[in-house]
Amino acid sequence: MCENPMRKNRKFYIGMILNVVEGMLSGFNFFLLYEVMKMLWIGNVNLSSLLRLTLLLGVIFVLRIIVYGIGYTESQIGGAAVSNQLRLFLGDKIKKIPLSRFTQGQTGQYINIITSDVNNYEKILTHTVGDLVKHIAFCVMMILFVGYIWLPGGIILACVELILIPFLWLTFRVVKKYGTEKNKVSAETVSSIVEYVTGIQTFRAYGVGGTKNKTVTSDMKRLSDVSYDYEKHGIPTNALQCIFLWLGLPIMVVAASVPMLSGKLDPVAYLLICMLPMLLAKLSDSISRALMSYKNLKISKDKIVDIINEPEEQGSMEVFSTNTHEIEFNNVAFSYVADEPVLQHTSFVVPNQKLTAIVGDSGSGKSTILNLIAKYYEPNSGTISIGGKLINHIAAERVLEQISMVDQDVFLFDDTIRENIRHARPDATDEEIEVACKEANCDTFIRKMEKGYDTPTGENGNLLSGGERQRLSIARAILKNSPILLLDEATASLDIENELAVKEAIANLLKAKKTVVMIAHTLSIVKNADQILVVSGGKIAETGTHDELLVKGGKYAAMWEAEQKISK
């Protein structure tokens, strides 16, 4: 992978050089036009001279076509190659960003940058920069041409061009302030619209569709307001700039009339140099707009640079292996938001090849414990070890090689059932996949489908029921066969029939000797666990077996009694 993913290549630079050459060739036409007009003015027109000038114009035209064709192609290929190189770099970079970043609402931002912002940056390379250098070269040639005919005229046009500098400075300030704000508000508005469309069924069911619609409308109003402010401050600046640019025309007409009337400047030259300020004004306005577009698109470039500069995981990528797989938390503290602790001074040991259940109130920190074991997050203080080895300085990828996870929210790729399960172990055979599915209690429903194991699951498994998705997740865990198994309320939100099927699948999963940590929303599921941890207020309130905790008469006993009353 290249050190600088935004490094330009040879084709890009060739394209830019040829764009400059094409701009210069465009300006060279004025020299030939001047010669033709002089011939007509003095009446010295002959066929040979016309043929010679026509031939030169033809040669320049052909050269422009060749230069433009090659330059455009090279800049397109070169720019696309840079964006391709950048996408590959970002794809690799994403793998190195700490997993906690993807659970802090950053996923949508990463997707937007890697897709939309990289496309915007590619537009800079393939279009904006090329047009800029070509137009600038054309302007320089016009100024040189006027200077060649009448030096003071070239100086006047050069001074008119310098007027662009303060106006560009003002324009860039507007882009920096309002363009950045517009980009931010636009992203928030898109998120709001997506949320509204995605949740429209739920909003209507609870009669809050109108309320949520007001939220979307409010966000769109903010976007409208910042867009208005952007234009309100940008248009006057551009209007004043155009006025000053077009002042070059009357200045040139008056200034050049003095030498023309005195006979020092021929009428043909006078006519040409009085016409060119109009063309220069239009071209300069195009340059100004292109630079403004460049500054707008550069906002995307800055976002890409932010990802490039994001800190990467510092853990060791060496293979992480231990003889045993007990898990120990030693005085661990963690918080998602500063000064709002989720876990405080938490210490416990999950025995090797035993089932440990974690129970507690909602929001007490149960899922956080699993996330810390899997290194989705890093503890603020304290240490975590597996098999007696600290994992604080081990890369999450290496730790996760030892772990299989079954969450209540199952993610499936838009692929076949077979390939979705194969992701757990890419080298698995079809027979091994089918054996895992039988143990996960999903082989029967799979074979009832028309295409069996080759049935598409749809985007994120939307063609399957919740229970079916959950059993496929268990099949993955069985196929991976990791020594540590984490179960996060795997039977939550399922109907009775699916819950029974999933419980049976989990029972098959637990037959193998593994270190298992299970979070359960019903205590009856975990009463036979080797150890139960009761989490309360970010701390381990009680530890013991089901019978031991009932004898203590503490929080667990109260939870058990409440559940028994509900089930009667």
- At residue 492, the pLDDT reads 58
For the segment 103-127, the average pLDDT, to the nearest whole number, is 78
- pLDDT bin (cut points 50, 70, 90) of residue 20 is very high
- The residues near 340 (Cβ < 8 Å, ≥ 6 apart) are none
pLDDT digits (tens, 9 = 90+) for 219-233: 888 889 988 988 888
- pLDDT bin (cut points 50, 70, 90) of residue 333 is very high
- At residue 491, the pLDDT reads 63
- At residue 141, the pLDDT reads 93
71 in any annotated domain: yes
pLDDT of residue 140 exceeding 70 = yes
Q: Please tell me the least confidently modeled range out of 166-180, 200-214, 338-352, 398-412.
A: 200-214
143 in any annotated domain: yes
262 in any annotated domain: yes
370 in any annotated domain: no
Whole-angstrom Cα distance, residue 432 to residue 95? 28
DSSP secondary structure of 170-192: HHHHHIIIIIHHHHHHHHHHHHH
For the segment 171-182, the average pLDDT, to the nearest whole number, is 83
- At residue 210, the pLDDT reads 66
pLDDT digits (tens, 9 = 90+) for 385-440: 999 999 988 888 889 899 988 887 788 888 999 999 999 999 999 999 999 998 88
pLDDT of residue 496 exceeding 70 = no
CATH number of the domain that residue 232 is part of: 1.20.1560.10
Q: Please tell me the least confidently modeled range out of 40-44, 115-119, 423-427.
A: 40-44
pLDDT of residue 75 exceeding 90 = yes
Whole-angstrom Cα distance, residue 23 to residue 26? 5
User: What is the chain's mean pLDDT, rounded?
Assistant: 86
224 in any annotated domain: yes
Q: Contact, 137 vs 23, CB < 8 A?
A: yes
pTM (two decimals) = 0.69
- pLDDT bin (cut points 50, 70, 90) of residue 107 is low
- The residues near 325 (Cβ < 8 Å, ≥ 6 apart) are 352, 353, 386, 387, 402, 483, 484, 514, 515
- Number of domain units in the chain: 1
461 in any annotated domain: no
pLDDT digits (tens, 9 = 90+) for 498-553: 667 667 777 777 777 889 898 887 787 788 889 999 998 888 999 999 999 999 99
- At residue 300, the pLDDT reads 83
- At residue 534, the pLDDT reads 93
96 in any annotated domain: yes
- At residue 53, the pLDDT reads 86
More confident residue, 567 or 252: 252
Whole-angstrom Cα distance, residue 366 to residue 351? 18
* DSSP secondary structure letter of residue 124: I
- At residue 104, the pLDDT reads 47
- At residue 388, the pLDDT reads 93
Whole-angstrom Cα distance, residue 34 to residue 20? 22
Residue 19 structural domain: 10-308
409 in any annotated domain: no
pLDDT of residue 12 exceeding 90 = yes
pLDDT of residue 1 exceeding 50 = no
The residue ranges of DSSP E strands in 144-278, in sequence order, are none
